Amino acid sequence: MTPFRLGVLVSGEGSNLQAVLDSLHGRDGIEVACVAASRPDAPALARARAAGVPTGVFAASDHPGRAARDEALAEFLTAHGVDLVVLAGFMELLDSAFVRHFDGRVINVHPSLLPAFPGLRAIEQALDYGVRVTGVTIHFVDEGIDTGPIVAQEAIELPYALDIARVEERVHAVEHRLLPEAIRLIAGGTVRIETAESGARRRVTIEGERRGER
Ligand code: GAR
């Protein structure tokens, strides 16, 4: 069976990449085919190398502009035969041409219950706002900022005056479980994005869910 190939995009620590490597790489017909970083000093790169996964660095400053960088990135992912692009702590926007090229084949992990607190520093935004519940969202990437169809979400309650480091810890623990779960479902071919004719309503359906199996 041909494996389902992931291209993982990172900018920093790479703890989500590690979770994907540990729970999915080389199992159940899934493999991490390549890892691309937006910065040469991203610690995530060492995690990829340790797992024997090919890496590439695509810093915007090495290219004439973001469009050119994203084109080079798309070529790298295509050359590695990627079926799904996973943004795992990738802290830069991807241009529309990239998103259209990989339409419906890019997902992102975001540390809030979208549509609350999109963009950068989502955990700080939630704490500053004083919400009692935050969480994690896995969503398909469209041309907006954290606006694509939602695959999975999980809530986390925030007791009063919990410090940011502890909230981050809880968020990461949920991400490290939810992201591999969502990837497994997508690789299994049971996930569909449904859009109503008006385009005003969209929903991600997961086979089995309607029958109450999930
Ligand atoms: C994760 O918490 C992820 O949700 C967040 O960056 C962190 C990366 O951690 N992503 C975003 O905020 C995207 N807007 P990691 O490098 O250890 O996986």
pLDDT score recorded for residue 214: 54
Q: Is the CB of 88 under 6 A from ligand 1?
A: yes
DSSP string, 92-150: S---HHHHHHTTT-EEEEESS-TTSS-SS-HHHHHHHHT-SEEEEEEEE--SSSS-SPE
- Centre of ligand 1 to C-alpha 169, Å, is 12
Look at residue 213 and tell me whether its pLDDT is greater than 60. no
Closest ligand 1 atom, residue 17 Cα: 18
109-189 matches 1-102 in CATH topology: yes
Q: What letters, b where the CB count within 10 A reaches 16 and e where it falls short, cover 114-153? A: bebbeeeebbebbbeeebeebbbbbbbbbeeebebbbbbb
Per-residue pLDDT tens over the stretch 95-148: 999 999 999 999 999 999 999 999 999 999 999 999 999 999 999 999 999 999
- Indicate the pairing of strand 4-10 with strand 30-37: parallel
Each domain of the chain, given as residue ranges in start order, spans 1-102, 109-189
Answer for the pair 71, 91: CB distance below 8 angstroms, yes or no.
no
Q: Distance (Å, rounded) from C-alpha 83 to C-alpha 14?
A: 20
CATH number of 1-102: 3.40.50.170
How confident is the model over 12-25, as pLDDT tens digits?
999 999 999 999 99
Q: Which atom of ligand 1 is nearest to the CA of 108?
A: 13
* Domain covering 109-189 in this structure, CATH number: 3.40.50.170
Structure tokens at 105: 């084949």
Residue 111, preceding bond cis, omega within 30 degrees?
no
Q: Considering the entire predicted model, what is its pTM?
A: 0.95
110 as an active site residue: the answer is yes
Task: Calculate the alpha carbon distances from 79 to 76, 99, 207 in Å.
Answer: 5, 17, 31
